[in-house]
Structure 1
Amino acid sequence: MSSSQVIIDIENLTRVYDVGAEQVTAVKDVTLQIPPGQFIALVGRSGSGKTTLLNLMAGLDKPTSGSILFEGEDLAAMGEKELTNIRRHKVGFVFQAFGLLPLLSAFENVELPLRISGFGVRQREERTREALGIVGLLPRANHRPYELSGGEQQRVAIARAIVTRPPLILADEPTGELDSTNAQSIFGLFREMVETHGITVVAATHDSTLLAMADQVNEMRDGSIVGHLEGEDLQSRLEDIQASRYRDRPSDGDGTTEVSEDSSDASAGQPEQPSDDSTDGQAQDEDYINRFRRPTDE
């Protein structure tokens, strides 16, 4: 696939930070091509390099070595003015924390990027209503964040990310503060935006509910991409994982089984407690990723 056929073209990308007297490699020799109009997942445990890679894609950080092209342009060679222009018009951001201004209504929160970019009143009105309509929250436009549920607040954040009509959405653990039902809804919304509006979505997550909705899944470990699945290979692998999860799930003694992964996902982003439950959750996450990984990745 040539550079003209991708929205982001990453080659041998490495990012090293100086931490005191030591050097920490957050991203190591990553090569990845992201075609337009697809839903791309970055999956991996905390500290695997997902957030750093997203920051590099957005031009929020510069690589130590390697290259990253955005629509054919080298981000590392751009000045701050050019990078600001890209972030303002071509990239939308969705974070685990919703980042809504509490004294502004949903409409005003979504409208804010347009105000900053100097859009006129009529364009702001039109685009804000359009974005809220896409996420299904136009009837709640005049509500403030504290009057909205967690899922609704994240939808407002997504509307804010797409209101400038960027070709790329970068989402960093977008469902970390949501329960499994709302997480499914948000991922379904991303899927719809890809299929209906041609937006490219790159989402970093540890939530397994995302994977079945993605066009491509890349697993990160220790700063590197160690697994890549797409198309029929991805669907086949996910079916194998789902089957093995049901086979291996422990019984509670009355013939029923207990679903534990959703509770682990819902608690993402919360302070880790020194308990056996926390240790079990980490083991489950690691077990899941091990199942996802191809045998040849070991």
Structure 2
Amino acid sequence: MSKILIIAEHLDGKLNSSTARCVTCAGQIGADSIDVLVLAADPAGIAAEAAKIDGVSNVLAVARAENAHALAAVCAPQIAAAAKNGYTHVLAPSTTFGKDVLPRAAALLGVAQVSDISAVEGAHTFKRPIYAGNAIVTVEAPAGQILVGTVRTASYAAAAEGANAAPVQALSLDVALPSHTRFVELAQGKSDRPDLQSASRVVSGGRALGSSDAFKVIYALADKLGAAVGASRAAVDAGYVPSDLQVGQTGKIIAPELYVAIGISGAIQHLTGIKDAGTIVAINKDAEAPIFEIADYGLVGDLFKIVPELEQAL
């Protein structure tokens, strides 16, 4: 019998779509019960959102002032305590949040973590990418202990809203929380464009743009498409755009319906971050660029000529 606990990711009172993607993964494991744990100072609104996800059995809401901000040192003891209530699996998204908090919870539970689950082979057998996505390895975890794992959310579609809301239960955890870690501030980029990790369309630029000023053509096309803006690591390292726009192994792993790569050669680290995209369009003057090997559509030519023409046509 599999009983799965999913750790909800949220910010500013809103549930992140990565939680619904974890529910899809949990459903493939064949769970008898899928519960969502919400840790917040005021979890009511977030819990109500989680309750609407199709496949969720129960939502467990923990209201503590210490949970006003998602600090790994504070969340992990609560996750470990909740997991001991008969759960066989504990899952969280393989995002900055999940990568920060779940290893701590695994350590408190005395188990090893399975990271970046991209496919389910069995209740304790999974596939995950290694070597920057160049290979996929099958991992089997011991069946006699709690399985703690992060889910590669780009590999799963978000579970839809169900017809009926799952029950929300207030959960009280008798656990002492550490005080050595405190929240100072959250520096967060503001943009009118869609969020890069959840956008259905993304337009990315690479080093071939040549300058931050030239990135205007990327922003203009993205605005025409209602898309988020991304960039290769080379463009970020060159200072053309801020690091929060970086797509790839050391940036954001995304799976939009449409990904447009402009002036991006296609290093393996970048391709790792976009391999789950629905349709990939590449524009590059080098016909031998690796990006064309995975692109569904390719345009060989000068991006400064092609992109304005494409924008005009749109």
Fold equivalence (TM over 0.5): no
The TM-score, its normalising length taken from structure 2, stands at 0.27
Q: Which has the larger radius of gyration?
A: 2
The TM-score, its normalising length taken from structure 1, stands at 0.28
More helix per residue: 1 or 2? Answer: 1
